[in-house]
Amino acid sequence: YWTIDYKTIKRKYGSPNHITANITHLEKYFQQNYFDVIIMNGVIGYGLNHSIDIEAAIDACFRTLDRGGIFVLGWNDHKRRKPVEI
């Protein structure tokens, strides 16, 4: 499995296949339809704080997700960490 985070310090929490980059750049590392499952958790309100960035990240996930693949989105419903309504 793969993990991605734009903060270098987060590498120690990632998988052996960790990428230090913004999730909006997912297509630089993976071709279209690459993943069967994508779990995007703990990102909205923790780095993706604007609707344009959130949309770009979700779009990148769906372009790299295989047809019929599963996309799981986790987010916090706390006002301080909820930059947009979902």
**pLDDT > 70? residue 72:** yes
Check if the beta carbon of residue 30 is closer than 8 Å to that of residue 65.
no
Confidence of residue 75 (pLDDT cuts 50, 70, 90): confident
Q: Does residue 7 belong to any structural domain of this protein?
A: yes
Confidence of residue 82 (pLDDT cuts 50, 70, 90): low
Percent helix, strand, coil in the chain, to 5, is 35, 30, 35
Element (H, E) at 60: helix 51-64
Q: Give the range of the structural domain holding residue 71, as residue numbers without chain letter.
A: 2-81
Number of domains in the chain: 1
As given in the structure block, the two tokens for residue 21 are 């980059």
As given in the structure block, the two tokens for residue 1 are 């499995």
Q: Does residue 86 belong to any structural domain of this protein?
A: no
pLDDT at 53: 94
**pLDDT > 90? residue 55:** yes
pLDDT at 45: 84
- Mean pLDDT score of the chain: 91
Q: Does residue 67 belong to any structural domain of this protein?
A: yes
Q: What is the mean pLDDT of residues 9-14?
A: 93
